[in-house]
Structure 1
């Protein structure tokens, strides 16, 4: 395999590709580097033959990245996308959160909306046939290599509050086919005059791929389902657990008590100690109490 095609906006990969497919994540600061440690361990434990690629920005110190090398990943430095000053101004954290506030959960202080668009650099990884992107605030609980057989663009629905959410995708997990042509087309559509993407890359990707293919909700199980829709939760079927909104490494966040079992699981993957078989964990209390 050839190494990734170099681009003037970003750095060279630390090593050449070793597989035809790759799991890809994005690290933009020390918090997400910590999250990536748990994610990468979880992927490696599935014994996948696919590469693991970590895209990282200048906001990450080398010391925060060093622990990731334990997991035989490709570290690829990148930069923010080459977007107009007007676009960047519209999508600053303050503007995004004022125009499209998060009302269902709390985004942590280290969340930066402009960083999210760096996910699109996945399409520059043309040394791979397929890539599965996974947010760094997630865990892979069983082998999910079958996702490499899914077409572009595949994503799970953004279901965390009600079944009405099935029409919207969540970009925490998606399947894509790298292509420089697609990447250039994305940049043009992304930075169209006056364009505003209230949920950043998530809103944009749904617009760019209006006929997106649906992955099972179990391939991107959002943590709020634990208490909002417990009837949908079955540890035996979950492939990816996604800690949307509050993060499991935050101390005493507003949902910590409600999500205590999920936080404990994440900490086990972070340390590598006493990692349970997820299929043996207790599901949340069901809402249906009717007797049979």
Structure 2
């Protein structure tokens, strides 16, 4: 039976190559499994649009697509900071009343339709904080990314609620993670973002592309969401005093991806990959038991090759 989706509001995620295809299928599956009344529409780049087999997979999954043009900052000194700037495209989709940007390396564990009714002041977005603990001590992360400065260290451990951002908050408390972003599209907001992308002096040095730009443009104009709407998997270890498995709504597989290996550790972080593989198995069963021969063929020829087999 077809679901009667609310056409005024959508989930969206960016797909720029085949590597994240299985992630997009699992994301869509878990949105449906948790009973969302809103449809996922996948942004595809022009390169993906020309990949007829990949597009056929999305069509067979009944996932509508929106083709987005390449977004890139204006060159500075002849150099361009290349990254996932296309994630900013939904800010210009004024035909939608509200949209929620999700990443394809997430799974939905509880219904999050309440985000579609989240009230936002004019010109605001909503997102969870970035975790700035840097537990892996990655060298390219900023030097002030230490647990003492992380917004989740200051969050209410009993409720999971983020600490309000004030003028005296550490710099890192102003940083967000763009895995889950609630926005109200408009030409004005999009134009503001594009102008900042092309003119702001910090853009050439941005490491996290779209989310760094969002943190600059929406400084003091974003509503922090509890970590449960964008639970970054390392936080299960480095913020174990905050994390509650039963409260997590959206699990975000930053860094290494579940589909890169079917074997994973039993530690607090890597054991979360089992949830992704369990969801993937449900999608696989649906496709391989389909009476549509072409659907079974697409699974074997397009999806299976981009997912680890061992």
TM-score range, shorter chain: 0.7 to 0.9
Taking a change above 3 Å as real, the CA distance of residues 193 and 145 of structure 1, as seen in their structure-2 partners, is: closer
Mapped pair 1:54 → 2:42: yes
Match of 1:7 in 2: none
How far residue 24 of structure 1 moved from its aligned partner, in angstroms, is 0.8
Task: Give the match for residue 18 of structure 2.
Answer: 30
Q: Structure 1 CA distance, aligned partners of 2:148 and 2:60?
A: 40
Query: 2:93 — aligned with what?
Result: 125
Q: How does 1:105-254 map to 2 (within 5 A)?
A: 114=83, 116-150=84-118, 151=120, 152-159=124-131, 161=133, 162=147, 164-166=149-151, 167=173, 168-192=175-199, 194=201, 195-196=203-204, 197-211=206-220, 212-251=222-261
Trace 1:14-93 onto structure 2 (pairs within 5 A): 19-60=7-48, 61-81=51-71, 83-86=73-76, 89-92=79-82
Question: Would you identify which runs of 4 or more consecutive aligned residues in structure 1 move more than 6 Å?
Answer: none
For the 8 Å contact 1:52–1:72, the answer to whether it is kept is no
Q: Deviations over 1:29-62 (max 9, x none)?
A: 1111121111110111122111211001134323
- Counterpart CA distance in 1 for 2:66 and 2:77 is 25
Q: Which runs of 5+ in 1 are unaligned?
A: 1-16, 93-113, 276-292
20 and 120 in structure 1: CA distance in 2 versus 1, 3 angstrom threshold: same
- C-alpha displacement of 1:237: 0.9
Shift of 1:272: 1.0
Counterpart-to-counterpart distance in 2, 1:58 and 1:88 = 24
The separation in 2 between residues aligned to 1:74 and 1:82, in whole angstroms, is 25
Task: Report how far residue 184 of structure 1 moved.
Answer: 1.5
Q: Is the 8 A contact 1:160 1:222 kept in 2?
A: no
Q: How many residues align?
A: 236
Q: 1:26 to 1:165 in 2, by over 3 A?
A: same
| Cα-to-partner distance string for 1:199-228 (whole Å, 9 max, x where unaligned) | 211110010101211000111000001222
CA deviation vs aligned residue, 1:225-256 (integer Å, no higher than 9, x gap):
12222222212111110011111111389x85
SS in 2 for 1:55: strand
> In the TM superposition, what is the alpha-carbon distance from 1:88 to its structure 2 partner?
8.4
Identify which range, 27-36 or 226-235, moves more after superposition: 226-235
Distance 1:34 1:89, change over 3 A: farther
In the superposition, the TM-score normalised over structure 2's length comes to: 0.69
RMSD: 2.5
